[in-house]
Structure 1
Amino acid sequence: MKVKEKLAKDHYNLPTGKNGRDDEELILWFLKDRRFEVDEAILKLTKAIKWRKEFGVSDITEQSVRRAAATGKSYVHDSLDVNGRPVLIVVPSKHIPEMYDRLEDERLCVFLLEKALSKLPDGKEEILGIFDLRGFGLKNSDLSFLTFLFDVLYYYYPRRLGQVLFVDAPFVFQPVWQLAKPLVKSYASLVNIFYSVSIFLHTIWSLKSI
């Protein structure tokens, strides 16, 4: 594979093995993300591999994120959705930005993304994100963390998030979302907003990608 050989020659110092420079599945994923533009794929892939090493993705364990996870602010649902996608649930009302060290929240985010992706059935490539916005208030807004989340998804887990559902969004959420939309880049187009749980439950079955 041309990309694999180029990585070995020009980026020999990068780690190998799963999620490394010789991981053919990972290489193919970034090629598809960059529409098989080799140089663009290599640029984005090497950035992702370096980030995984620097962030210590392989060292994050359930025990290491136990304290942040105990809040219930985010978790991977036990069941897949009706299209066989793993479901990542986020409950922003349980997120108080100053309660924990920022790094704890970031590590929990990455741990749950890895967990959700590990549950992908054969033939499936994307996960579903559901934001349960019941009880959300301004004290829970955290544009900085939201930017981190979508940067991680865009640069390091591209095209892994298939759809985002905002459920029971209160009035106060609307101006927060207007501020956030430019920060989350193209992922804003994946978002469906439901202003009540009943509308969400009624509509979810008719959504083509659900």
Structure 2
Amino acid sequence: MALRFGHSFRFFPFSSSSPVRSRTTKFRPLKSSAQNQISQTSVDSRKLVLEVKEKLEREHYDLPVGRNGRDDEEMIQWFLKDRKYYVEEAVAKLTRAIKWRQEFGVSSLSEDDVKNLYVTGKAYVHDCLDINGRPVLVVVANKHFPAKHDSRENEKLCVFLIEKALSKLPDGKEDILGIFYLRGFGTENGDVMFLKFLIDVFYYYYPKRLGQVLFVDAPFVFQPIWQLVRPLLKSYADLVRFCSADTVRREYFTEATIPADFKD
């Protein structure tokens, strides 16, 4: 029987321009500085999106266009936000992401491409949202066998499920919940290379799309894996929370929406 995490690790808690002066006028009510700031920010943001768009067209005209392409303004806005609205940094990161999507074949991935691993139940997107309205990506670690499963197939399944989870985002929501169920985890399930791939995917290609990560019922044997992976996460380690299945049931779902793996 796997030893429970609680006696070995500490829990890692989740850490979840100058104002514009309003103009004085005798004929219209004054707008608050906050309203003016929001309006100005919107205008500036739009200008930066167009600047990035034009720069990509000029310097990287060979990149694809359309959804998730160099002229996708929603995607440009997201990467600008991630790079704190520094145009050069946003262009560099966005260029890398678009090239990766093209080379990996993200847009053409289908369930048929990943069905051999999908049927194992090792990872899936839960049918219900969590109590915060986020799509939920679940990984069942004791069903992952890196020695038996092709690493490229694992990567395809990972990206397919991320895309599927993001497609379930409700209006007004921007990130997803990731759950690693570690009950029964053994050394044969350890896969540092895949975890590195996962970290890179979320950092470079899906920035700020992972709102929180739960490591559930982690046994002692998981500690060396965590010690290797944690430095790679840097500030993103703050997104990680170690907890029990009972915590998942009580704090993240209702009785009607809890994933089957976490039911009593």
Whether the aligned pair in 2 keeps the contact of 1:151 and 1:184 (CA below 8 Å) is: no
Query: Equivalent residue of 1:64, what SS?
Result: helix
Decide which of 82, 93, 102 is 1:53's aligned counterpart.
102
Query: Equivalent residue of 2:171, what SS?
Result: coil
Whether the aligned pair in 2 keeps the contact of 1:133 and 1:167 (CA below 8 Å) is: yes
Query: For residues 9-60 of structure 1, what are the alpha-carbon distances to aligned partners after superposition, in whole Å with 9 as ceiling and x for unaligned?
Result: 1110000000000000000000000000000000000000000001111121
Tell me the equivalent position of 1:76.
125
- Pair 1:66-2:105 in alignment: no
Residue type matched to 1:89 in 2?
V
Map 1:39-188 to 2 at 5 A.
39-188=88-237
Distance in 1 between residues matched to 2:173 and 2:251, nearest whole Å: 23
Residue type matched to 1:128 in 2?
L
Query: Equivalent residue of 2:70, what SS?
Result: coil
Decide which of 246, 259, 262 is 1:198's aligned counterpart.
246
Query: Equivalent residue of 1:172, what SS?
Result: helix
Change (3 A) 1:199 1:16: closer
Distance in 2 between residues matched to 1:26 and 1:2, nearest whole Å: 14
Distance in 2 between residues matched to 1:154 and 1:73, nearest whole Å: 23
Residue type matched to 2:216 in 1?
V
Query: Equivalent residue of 2:62, what SS?
Result: coil
Tell me the equivalent position of 2:32.
none
TM-score by length of 2: 0.75
Distance in 1 between residues matched to 2:252 and 2:64, nearest whole Å: 42
TM-score by length of 1: 0.94
Deviation at 1:88, TM superposition (A): 0.2
Paired residues, number: 204
Tell me the equivalent position of 1:208.
none
- Pair 1:22-2:58 in alignment: no
Percent identity between the two aligned chains: 65
Deviation at 1:204, TM superposition (A): 4.7
Residue type matched to 1:63 in 2?
D
Q: Which has the higher contact order (CA 8 A, sep 6+)?
A: 2
Distance in 2 between residues matched to 1:19 and 1:69, nearest whole Å: 25
Distance in 2 between residues matched to 1:34 and 1:26, nearest whole Å: 12
Whether the aligned pair in 2 keeps the contact of 1:89 and 1:130 (CA below 8 Å) is: yes
Distance in 2 between residues matched to 1:185 and 1:27, nearest whole Å: 25
Decide which of 55, 63, 68 is 1:6's aligned counterpart.
55
Look at both structures and tell me which one has the larger radius of gyration over its CA atoms. 2
Deviation at 1:187, TM superposition (A): 2.3
| Structure 2: runs of 5 or more not aligned | 1-49, 254-264
